[in-house]
Amino acid sequence: MKVILLERVEGCGALGDVVSVKDGFARNYLLPRKKALRANRANEQIFEVQRAEIEARNIKAREQAAKGGEKLDGSSYILIRQAGESGQLYGSVSGRDVADAVQAEGGKVERAMVVLDKPIKSLGMHEVKIRLHPEVSVTITLNIARSQDEADRQARGENIIAAQFEEDRAQAEQAQADMLEGGAGSQADFGEG
């Protein structure tokens, strides 16, 4: 189906372009969200008459998104999640989780604005792209940890999983050294009878 784009659409084109897209994409996404018009002679005439108004509306929306993005760009949010010993989350962090975290801090982000290339399934610091407008994107940092203490340690740059493995290894070595020094099973413990 040929459509006239009313705004820039990722992977399709810019405002005013006449592009050919799959029928389902046009019917289910572009047309209902007023991002495009069907490409026919009547709609082309309507678009040309309203082009200046549509461009002005698009510029205003882009400026508002850029202003809102200034305070969001580079900000950091903490998400407390349950995870296993190796740092793998029980579940994953979705776009809805990210949007909820930003909204809890007073930001205006919808789930559809969050761009996750792949689900986040591990503890640590993760950068996430937020698309506020087709032409305005910002990056935020998610600090995913099991507790507030872990989140604070990660924020300082500590790798909590590596630190935990190191701590466990040191404890195991200490237990082994204690056993060799006369711990369980030595003659001193049983006495001689």
Of 30, 19, 24, 20, nearest in space to 134 by CA:
30
Taking only the tens place, the pLDDT of each residue in 163-191 is 777 777 777 788 888 777 765 555 555 55
Low-confidence ranges of the chain (pLDDT < 50): 193
Maximum alpha-carbon separation in the chain: 109
Of 112, 102, 104, nearest in space to 132 by CA:
112
Q: Where are the domains of the chain?
A: 2-64, 76-175
CA–CA distance, 51 with 45 (Å, rounded to integer) = 10
Instruction: Quote the pLDDT of residue 184.
Output: 55
Instruction: Quote the pLDDT of residue 168.
Output: 73
pTM, full prediction: 0.70
Give me the residues paired with residue 79 across strands.
144
Instruction: Quote the pLDDT of residue 193.
Output: 46
Does the domain at 2-64 match CATH 1.25.40.10? Answer given as: no
HSE toward the beta carbon, residue 108, CA cutoff 13 A: 9
Instruction: Quote the pLDDT of residue 23.
Output: 93
Of 40, 143, 131, 57, nearest in space to 93 by CA:
143
Q: What are phi and psi of 25, to 5 degrees?
A: -60, -40
CATH superfamily of 76-175: Ribosomal protein L9, C-terminal domain (3.10.430.100)
CA–CA distance, 142 with 157 (Å, rounded to integer) = 13
